[in-house]
Amino acid sequence: MHPLFGTRFALPVYLLAWTALAIVPQVILGQGAPIGRALVALVATWTFSLFTLPGYYVCRSLPLSPRHWRRSLGVQATVALIWSGTYLASFEVLARLAAVVPAWTLLPELVAGSRAPLFGVGLLLSLLAMAFHHLALSIEARGVALEREASSLLARQRAELGALRAQVHPHFLFNSLNTVSALIGYDPAGARQACIELGAYLRGALGAGERPFVSLREEWELAEMYLGVEALRLGERLQIVRELDPAALERQVPSLILQPLIENAITHGISRVTEPSPLRVRAALRDERLLVEIENPIATGASGPVGRPGGLGLANVRARLAAHYGSLASLGVVRSEGSFLARLDLPSKTEVHP
């Protein structure tokens, strides 16, 4: 489809531009019958502007490429000459029709005396029409290139996010199988229960992993399943303190975004202390932002995620936040005496993100 018919106001703006160009032939026709001259020049120029619209397809089929530029230029120059003759012929026809008005009887003579300049104006306008069509094709090609680039970038981003989410599962399985292995030696019934809990978690994780975003409620329910597996191994050492704003639970977050943070809290914190230790999980809304905090105790002198900048958990979360939100989301960590805090700061959205 011609680009002028693709939007609502393109054709009126196009005709308005040609209206301004109609002043040139009006001046060339000289003196006498000013209203008649203006009317003939305007109608002829508008007719010419519509007559040259198929030039878009001529330019598209014969672009001025380096290989075939001579052929393309020759064909388009021939078309321009034909258009110029048509432009002059339209003036002569319209002048004769307008001459039926007594005040405009001089119009045929004015056109006859200005054939050469009118033909020249027609040639210039033809070249202008060709240049306009080449510009439209260039803009259209640029738009197609940008769309392809955006599609390629989106596909690359989706592949990257898929790979990052895929990293979560083997890492989690490694930790969970260690849990089951530890239970087998002294608590076979607990190991069997851990396998059941693990199966339930994996079913939920696979379902969540197929969606880029889930509600924070769904994400936390999945994390609770994982904590149920770890509770079989850690017993009373694992205590969960929940401070979850109900409104925050309905907001959307990237799927499986909490899992690496919960694992870090267990692996580098609670599993290394001997006393009952609270895992504090907070979620709240603040100034159109969703804040999620996971705080766990750490043993005195123990190394944790802060000391392991290349660790999979935190690096995975940061990479996924960057892919989803760019600079609009962050993961901050604060290590203090006896505790480690991971804080997610996300845009607060209720709808599912694209």
Sheet of strand 277-286: strand arrangement: 238-244, 277-286, 289-297, 339-347, 330-336
Kindly state whether residue 219 falls inside one of the protein's structural domains.
Answer: yes
Residues 195 and 342 in one domain: yes
Residue 176 belongs to a domain: no
| Number of separate domains in the chain | 2
Q: Considering the domain boundaries, does residue 254 fall inside one?
A: yes
Residue 165 domain flag: no
- Residue 138 and residue 211 in one domain: no
Distance CA 47, CA 88 (A): 12
Specify the pLDDT at position 90: 92
Q: For position 227, what pLDDT does the model report?
A: 87
Strands (E), 98-245: 213-215, 238-244
Say if residues 63 and 137 touch (Cβ distance below 8 Å).
Answer: yes
Beta strands in the chain (DSSP E): 213-215, 238-244, 252-254, 277-286, 289-297, 330-336, 339-347
353 pLDDT band, cuts 50/70/90, is: very low
CA dist 269 and 285 (Å) reads: 27
How far from 8 is each of 50, 53, 99, 139, 272, CA to CA, in Å? 17, 17, 36, 18, 67
Q: Is 46 inside any structural domain? A: yes
pTM of the predicted protein model:
0.53
- The Cα 24–Cα 7 span in angstroms is 29
Q: Is residue 175 part of a domain?
A: no
108 within some domain: yes
DSSP 8-state symbol, 304: -
Do 30 and 77 lie in a common domain? Answer: yes
The model's confidence at residue 72, banded by pLDDT at 50, 70 and 90, is: confident
Residue by residue, DSSP assigns 207-223 as HHHTSSEEEHHHHHHHH
Domain of 112, in residue numbers: 3-148
Please report whether residue 323 resides in a domain: yes
* Same domain as 191, residue 143: no
Report d(CA 108, CA 35) in Å as an integer: 14
Per-residue pLDDT for 245 more than 90? yes
Kindly state the DSSP code that residue 8 receives in the 8-state scheme. S
Q: Are residues 227 and 339 in the same domain?
A: yes
pLDDT digit string, tens, across residues 196-229: 877 887 777 666 656 788 899 999 998 888 888 7
